[in-house]
Amino acid sequence: MSKVQDCARALGEAIVASEEYQNMQLCEKAAESDPAAAEAMGRYMELHAAVNQEMGNEEPDAELIARYGREMDEIQQSLNQMPSVEAMTQARQRFSELMNQVNQILEFIITGDVQESGGCSGNCSACGGCH
């Protein structure tokens, strides 16, 4: 194995061992074990599938799609208020921030460019989302 591959493997192992990753895994398992969250997510996925099915029809029913969309929004709001889902979302955000930092360091080492946090480089492939 090359030195680059060895270093990439070591970086991956360090990421998996990080507090951010470990906490994210625990919070995801807790959210998956929450009966109310599981039920809401199941219903959300059913609605998502129904929207996709309706969109695949030759003449989709816009009113039906809108109704499904409203129900999906309500479920999403309900999910966001559940403590287990809120904890999972926060843990995922912290892990995402860690990964953004790692990517910024790699980009700096490779290109010499320093990207300001939250700034837009114009290259969406490495972006964590517009703010």
Residue 34: what pLDDT? Answer: 96
**Any residues with CB less than 8 A from the CB of 88 and at least 6 apart, and which?**
24, 27, 28, 30, 31
Give the CA radius of gyration of the chain.
Answer: 20
10-residue stretch averages of pLDDT, the chain, 131 residues long:
93 98 97 95 96 96 96 96 96 97 94 69 53 44
Who's near 24: CB < 8 A, 6+ residues apart? 88, 91, 92, 94, 95
Q: What's the pLDDT at 131? A: 44
* Residue-level pLDDT at 115: 72
> What structural domains does the chain harbor?
3-126 (1.20.1500.10)
pTM: 0.72
